[in-house]
């Protein structure tokens, strides 16, 4: 009888909390029960806090056992500090999204700096903690902005899945976008659309069905990891990709390769791939060669009309150079490349960057 009364009064107390605060705290049992065997994804919401939407969004996330990262605008945070604290109290992570959502790369260095630092100061004064993540408005970035981010202790975070909620996507389309996410992926959403909020129950069910959980964003990789900051789900030693038989080909997506360097991130435009921003940034993976000569085709682009140079290294030795001739995606091919056999590490390395040239990689095909 005593246990029954405890359960009864606990339920009543929870209902009272909900009626008076409009929110429920996610229980530890629900989090512990989640099956995260296939890894973590990052749900992100830009442009808040929004007095007409944030509380509803937070309630939907909590009621469905989800956590997310909110990239807040400084001016919105200044006008709605209580909403920022509600984000924090609800167990969400808070990032910097500039002060007023301008096209930062079109501003002067001092204007860029003000947009970032003023937001950083405001969010820290509200929450007591300085954000560690920064998302540039429109995903537009350059070396100057990256330098400002570094000065403020910020990791730049873009996305590799776009919900298109900003472009009128329906609830079903938003749910379908989440359905494409894999371990480590980051999705772009916004704190202002009813369709985005309505998608949350289906998003939660979708992730549960696929053994995925909502996670935080790593400050070292910009990808989703377990909420405690540990890595993604344990990754087994990769099985080397085996080269094809004559007359066939092997294609490896850049986003499935390991990234290394000062500034790298996954991108969704001009294609789904990887951006390498600075000299010696690279992607790599292990390839098993049964023969010693192949053709290598790399699809990619530069961020402008200048040429971006990407070296092909096999087993630590430069075997050829891809010169990306402009911003339109194209396939560049190196024919009859000689190399060792057996397991060889393939690296695609940016080696010509004047501070503003970025290389975008889509895939490498070996024939």
Tens digits of per-residue pLDDT, 124-138?
999 999 999 999 999
Question: Using an 8 Å Cβ cutoff, are 226 and 215 in contact?
Answer: yes
pLDDT value at residue 170: 97
Domains identified in the chain and CATH numbers: 22-225 (3.20.20.370), 241-366 (2.60.120.260)
The three-point CA angle 38-43-181 to 5° equals: 45
Question: Using an 8 Å Cβ cutoff, are 287 and 344 in contact?
Answer: yes
**Residues with Cβ within 8 Å of residue 129, at least 6 apart in sequence:** 94
Do β-strands 161-162 and 186-190 pair in parallel, antiparallel, or remain unpaired? parallel
Question: Using an 8 Å Cβ cutoff, are 106 and 77 in contact?
Answer: no
pLDDT value at residue 358: 78
Q: Which residues, given as ranges, of the chain have pLDDT below 70?
A: 1-34, 228-248, 262-263, 304-307, 325, 352-357
Q: Model's pTM, two decimal places? A: 0.59
Nearest Cα neighbor of 264 from 136, 138, 146, 152 is 146
pLDDT value at residue 204: 97
Tens digits of per-residue pLDDT, 3-33?
344 344 444 444 444 434 443 334 333 443 4
């Amino acid at each position: 009888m005593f246990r029954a009364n405890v359960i009864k009064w606990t339920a009543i107390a929870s209902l009272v909390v909900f009626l008076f605060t409009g929110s429920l705290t996610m229980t530890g049992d629900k989090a512990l029960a989640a099956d995260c065997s296939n890894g973590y994804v990052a749900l992100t919401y830009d442009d808040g806090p929004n007095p007409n939407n944030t509380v509803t969004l937070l309630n939907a996330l909590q009621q469905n056992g989800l956590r997310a990262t909110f990239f807040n605008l400084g001016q919105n945070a200044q006008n709605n500090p209580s909403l920022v604290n509600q984000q924090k109290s609800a167990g969400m992570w808070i990032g910097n999204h500039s002060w007023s959502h301008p096209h930062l790369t079109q501003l002067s260095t001092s204007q860029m700096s003000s947009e970032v630092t003023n937001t950083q100061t405001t969010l820290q004064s509200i929450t007591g903690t300085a954000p560690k993540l920064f998302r540039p408005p429109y995903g537009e970035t350059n070396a100057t902005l990256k330098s400002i981010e570094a000065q403020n202790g910020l990791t730049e975070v873009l996305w590799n899945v776009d919900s298109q909620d900003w472009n009128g996507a329906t609830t079903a389309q938003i749910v379908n976008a989440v359905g494409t996410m894999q371990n480590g992926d980051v999705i772009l959403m916004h704190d202002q659309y009813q369709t985005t909020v309505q998608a949350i129950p289906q998003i939660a069910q979708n992730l549960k069905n696929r053994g995925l959980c909502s996670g935080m964003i790593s400050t070292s990789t910009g990808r989703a990891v377990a909420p405690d900051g540990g890595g993604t789900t344990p990754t087994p030693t990769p099985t080397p990709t085996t080269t094809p038989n004559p007359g066939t080909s092997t294609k490896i997506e850049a986003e499935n390769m390991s990234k290394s360097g000062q500034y790298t991130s996954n991108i969704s435009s001009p294609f789904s791939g990887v951006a390498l921003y600075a000299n010696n940034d690279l992607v790599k993976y292990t390839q098993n060669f049964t023969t010693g000569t192949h053709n290598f085709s790399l699809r990619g682009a530069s961020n402008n009309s200048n040429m971006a140079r990407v070296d092909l290294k096999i087993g630590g030795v430069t075997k050829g150079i891809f010169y990306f001739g402009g911003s339109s995606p194209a396939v560049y091919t190196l024919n009859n490349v000689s190399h060792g056999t057996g397991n060889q590490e393939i690296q695609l390395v940016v080696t010509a960057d004047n501070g503003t040239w970025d290389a975008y990689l889509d895939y490498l095909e070996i024939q």
